[in-house]
Each structure stands twice: as structure tokens, then as C-alpha cells.
Amino acid sequence: MRKLFSKINKKIRKLLLPTEHQRTLARWRKDDLDNSKRYRYDLNSESMVFDLGGYRGEWSYGIYDLYKCDIMVFEPIKSFYSSILDNIEGRIGIQAFEFGLSNKNEISPISLCDDSSSLFLDSGEMIDIQLCDIADFLEKKKIEKIDLMKINIEGGEYDLLERLLEIDFVRNISNLQIQFHELDDQSEIRMKKIQEGLSETHIITYQYKFVWENWQLKL
């Protein structure tokens, strides 16, 4: 009985005393930025866009329909990758890749949980996925400039962004749209260090902590 009351009290506190993240998410939704700023960029048919964590491809085909730009979308989970292929049919400027980008080449286990599938959480069925070193991919594809990179990879953003800073490629990315994830007590430390590195070449245009933020290359 005592355990039951404890669970009820926790639920009540959660409802009455929302966490900082819940308050930030509510502010994001109130400002309706999901349908505005995440799609509004200075892009055209000559632009190159990367979508890391494509899920089912909605963001990619939304950007393509607006600007008709070239888009590379990365989704390592087969079922989501298949959905992307269905959704981008007829949109010739979008290329889909059935692997994720990270700081090294490896096969890694991932926990399946719909759009929150993660390498770092054990919350569902586990499958193996392919990850590729972004430095190798950029060199192989001879990519020298990216106009917009969207990153929503459920915790993988830390390794990826640290790698981009390490190889000094961030200065070749005009906009970085990032969703950081709070995984453990090291997440905020790593996030702040990455933000410090980005601030040398970019300015923040909007920021909702652990929801979405955008970094624009300094003129």
C-alpha cells in the first residue's frame, strides 16, 4: 500500500511540478516553432542538406518540397529506412542511406522505440545497426560544404558533433539544427563543451534546451 501511495504521489508531483525539460518543451510547442523555424532557411535548388536521424522522412520531404534542394537522409533502422523510400518517391533530389553517421565505423546495438530509438537507452527490442565515420563519408562523397544539417539521433549527437569539431568541418556547415538529449549526468557537460566549440564559428539563432537549437555560421 505504501508503494502504491508513493507512485501516486510521484505522478501528482509530475503533473503539478513539471520538470525543466517539460517546461521548455511546452514553451517550444506554444511558440509553434516545429512548423516554422525548423523549415525556414535561406536554401535553393543548389543547396546541400543532411538529415541525420531521418525517421520516416517527413522533415526531409518537407524541406525538399519547399526548396527542391539536394538532401542526404540517414536512417540506420531498416523499417524506418523503408518508410523513407516510400515517402520520397518522385522526389529525385533526396538520397537515402541505410546507416547512421558517427565518429567511427562500427556495428552497434540499438534499442527500438519508434522515434526515440537509441544507442544509449535499453527500452525495447535490440537490433544491430551500421554506423559510419562522418569524416570518411564526407571524403568519399567529396562534400566540401553543407548548407543545413539536421541532427536528431537520440544521443549519438555527442560523438558526431565532437567528431565534426575534431576535423574542423563545422566551419563548412551553414546551419546546424540540433536536438541534444539528456541521457545521464555527463550529457549537459558534453553539450556545453560542444556549444563552446560551435560558438567559435557559429551564432545561436534559437535555443530550447534539450529540445531544439540552431547554430548559424558567422558572416
What pLDDT is stored for residue 32 in this prediction?
Answer: 75
Q: Three-class SS string for the chain?
A: CHHHHHHHHHHHHHHHCCCHHHHHHHHHHHHCCCCCHHHCCCCCCCCEEEEECCCCCHHHHHHHHHHCCEEEEECCCHHHHHHHHHHCCCCCCEEEECCEEECCCEEEEEECECECCECCCCCCCEEEEEEEEHHHHHHHCCCCCECEEEECCCCCHHHHHHHHHHCCCHHHECEEEECCCCCCCCHHHHHHHHHHHHCCCEEEEEEECCCEEEEEECC
Chain position carrying cell 542538406: 49
What pLDDT is stored for residue 118 in this prediction?
Answer: 42
Return d(Cα 29, Cα 47) in angstroms, integer: 28
Domains of the chain: 45-217 (3.40.50.150)
Q: Once rounded to an integer, what is the mean pLDDT over residues 18-38? A: 80
- Cβ neighbours for 137, distance < 8 A, ≥ 6 positions apart: 101, 143
What pLDDT is stored for residue 35 in this prediction?
Answer: 78
User: Mean pLDDT: which of 31-35, 37-41, 176-180 is highest?
Assistant: 176-180
Return d(Cα 52, Cα 101) in angstroms, integer: 7
Q: Are 174 and 216 in contact (CB under 8 A)?
A: yes
Place 13 in a pLDDT band, splitting at 50, 70 and 90: low
Q: Are 49 and 70 in contact (CB under 8 A)?
A: yes
What pLDDT is stored for residue 17 in this prediction?
Answer: 62
Amino acid identity, position 92: I
Query: How much of the chain, in percent, has pLDDT values that exceed 70?
Result: 87
Q: Which residue has the higher pLDDT, 9 or 206?
A: 206
Q: Once rounded to an integer, what is the mean pLDDT over residues 82-96? A: 94
pTM to 2 decimal places: 0.86
What pLDDT is stored for residue 122 in this prediction?
Answer: 56
What pLDDT is stored for residue 91 in this prediction?
Answer: 95
Place 25 in a pLDDT band, splitting at 50, 70 and 90: confident
Alpha carbon distances (Å) from 214 to 91, 156, 180: 26, 17, 11
Q: Once rounded to an integer, what is the mean pLDDT over residues 173-201? A: 97
